[in-house]
Amino acid sequence: MSQGSNFVDYVRICCRSGAGGAGSAHLHRDKKTAKGGPDGGDGGRGGHVIVKGNSQLWTLLHLKYRKHVIAENGESGGSALKTGAQGKDEILEVPLGTVIKDAETDEVLLEITQDGETKIITPGGRGGQGNWHFKSPTNQTPRFAQSGEVGKEEWKVLELKLLADVGLVGFPNAGKSTLLSVVSAAKPEIADYPFTTMVPNLGVVAYRGNRSFVMADIPGIIEGAAEGKGLGIRFLRHIERNSVLLFMVPADSKDIKKEYEILLNEIKQFNPELLDKPRVLAITKADMLDEELIAEMEKELPKGIPHQFISSVAQKGIVELKDLLWKAIND
């Protein structure tokens, strides 16, 4: 199975929580008591459907074929005020950056960003109250109790948005995968044709002083990605969780500034709030350029964005680029 088929960032699941157990309508009876009062216990709560963050997971693959998740029902109450057992919860472990939506309305309900964080997505039904709750001066021996609350059946969408400090943004063949392979231990597939990256790749980039940051190589944007062309919005959404956007344009591009503006416009079309994120520009494949040519090209670069000429293959400008990114992450 290739890495592409292993990367699943969207699943739709039917979640059914457990029904609450019925309360008991028992009346106390023993050898010494012929007509005791009510002592029926409460029913147990039905099981919840819960999501839990797991930093060891990076895909929703393990949930891809799990279309129905059913939590246990609560047990009925018993005599002598015994409460019924709670239904067993169903816990779905998910990668950090998972967003849970209502499948009908597409409304975002919650997101998981911390390891070990748990949130209920479909609550179990409450247990019914036993008859002792209903005792009153006018009704000393109530012979009724509450039935438990029914469980809920809801369709949920789980959508993964990668959590990374730096998201690489560029057209296909801008050198994103090559940069990631050079600065981290990630081993993305690299070839000399567009759309090599069919899935996002994550790499941890070592920085000075034993510090590090996470970089995500996201599949190349083409004009019209916001309308779903090419690999489209499915991968643009991963950029939403990045702290800094690293725009990458090759040095042999006909017009670096124009290419940068097209990339910027695609992101703006998708989600204008992304323009608030810090941006850094890397001009890639710059190993053939001399200082004079770089000085000339710099005059044509977009204003107001820190830039660095780099060559991943020749390891040129990589340290300086890391410095720029670290500063942008921590500003």
Question: 10 Å Cβ neighbour count for 111?
Answer: 19
> Does the annotation list 314 as a binding residue?
no
> Does the annotation list 287 as a binding residue?
yes
User: What 8-state DSSP symbol labels residue 270?
Assistant: H
CA pair distance 46, 276, nearest whole angstrom: 44
Structure tokens at 100: 């849970």
> Does the annotation list 217 as a binding residue?
yes
> Does the annotation list 218 as a binding residue?
yes
> Does the annotation list 188 as a binding residue?
no
> Does the annotation list 171 as a binding residue?
yes
Q: In sequence order, what are the residues at sequence separation of 6 or more whose Cβ sits closer than 8 angstroms to the Cβ of residue 272?
A: none
> Does the annotation list 213 as a binding residue?
no
> Does the annotation list 192 as a binding residue?
no
Q: Hey, which bits of the chain come out as E strands?
A: 10-16, 49-53, 68-70, 90-94, 98-102, 108-112, 118-122, 153-160, 164-169, 201-207, 211-217, 242-250, 279-284, 307-309
> Does the annotation list 284 as a binding residue?
yes
> Does the annotation list 219 as a binding residue?
yes
Amino acid at 114: Q
* Phi, psi at 267, each rounded to 5°: -70, -40
> Does the annotation list 198 as a binding residue?
yes
> Does the annotation list 174 as a binding residue?
yes
> Does the annotation list 172 as a binding residue?
yes
CA pair distance 240, 28, nearest whole angstrom: 61
CA pair distance 22, 45, nearest whole angstrom: 9
Q: Name the one residue in this structure whose structure tokens are 């997505």.
A: 121
> Does the annotation list 197 as a binding residue?
yes
> Does the annotation list 277 as a binding residue?
no
Pairing of strands 10-16, 153-160: antiparallel
HSE-up (13 A, CA, CB side) for residue 85: 5
> Does the annotation list 286 as a binding residue?
yes
> Does the annotation list 196 as a binding residue?
yes
> Does the annotation list 199 as a binding residue?
yes
> Does the annotation list 177 as a binding residue?
yes
> Does the annotation list 34 as a binding residue?
no
- The C-alpha torsion from 159 through 162 and 167 to 173, rounded to 10°, is -70
HSE-up (13 A, CA, CB side) for residue 281: 20
Residues tagged in the binding site annotation for Mg(2+): 177, 197
Residues tagged in the binding site annotation: 170-177, 195-199, 217-220, 284-287, 311-313
Residues tagged in the binding site annotation for GTP: 170-177, 195-199, 217-220, 284-287, 311-313
